[in-house]
Amino acid sequence: MPYYISPPPQNPLMRVLAAIFVALALTGAFMIGMAALVVVAGLALVAGLVLWARIAWIRRGLRKQGMDPLTGQRSDEATSTGEVIEAEYTVISKRKD
């Protein structure tokens, strides 16, 4: 025989009321859980947007300084502004003055 801390009610009306109470309690717990999930998801979304904006801001600053945001090295644009110019040429005529 099972041992109950509080045995189930014997009265049929009390059983129906207990079932309704349990259903309402489970529904309330579900709703509170869903509200908590929405709040946590919203906070995670805001944190993700803030992190994305911060990374974009840092990359923008690095590009302004002439750095490649992924490698941290000077980009080709920054090194091409130096003093050395590389070019290919073809001699058209050898004229002596």
Task: Note whether residue 35 is domain-resident.
Answer: yes
- For the ranges 23-37, 51-65, 68-82, the lowest mean pLDDT is seen at 68-82
Residue that the structure tokens 């941290």 belong to: 72
Beta bridge partners of 74: 67
**pLDDT averaged over the chain?**
84
For 2-17, write each residue's pLDDT tens digit.
777 877 778 889 999 9
Task: Note whether residue 96 is domain-resident.
Answer: no
Residue 74, classed as helix, strand or coil, is strand
Q: What is the pLDDT of residue 47?
A: 98
Residue 21, classed as helix, strand or coil, is helix
Per-residue pLDDT, averaged over 24-39, amounts to 97
Task: Note whether residue 97 is domain-resident.
Answer: no
Task: Note whether residue 24 is domain-resident.
Answer: yes
**Contact between 62 and 68 (Cβ < 8 Å):** yes
Task: Note whether residue 7 is domain-resident.
Answer: no
Answer yes or no: is pLDDT of 87 > 90: no
Structure tokens at 28: 């309330």
Number of domains forming the structure of the chain: 1
Three-state SS string over 4-20 comes to CCCCCCCCHHHHHHHHH
Per-residue pLDDT, averaged over 48-65, amounts to 90
Domain enclosing residue 56, as ranges: 12-79
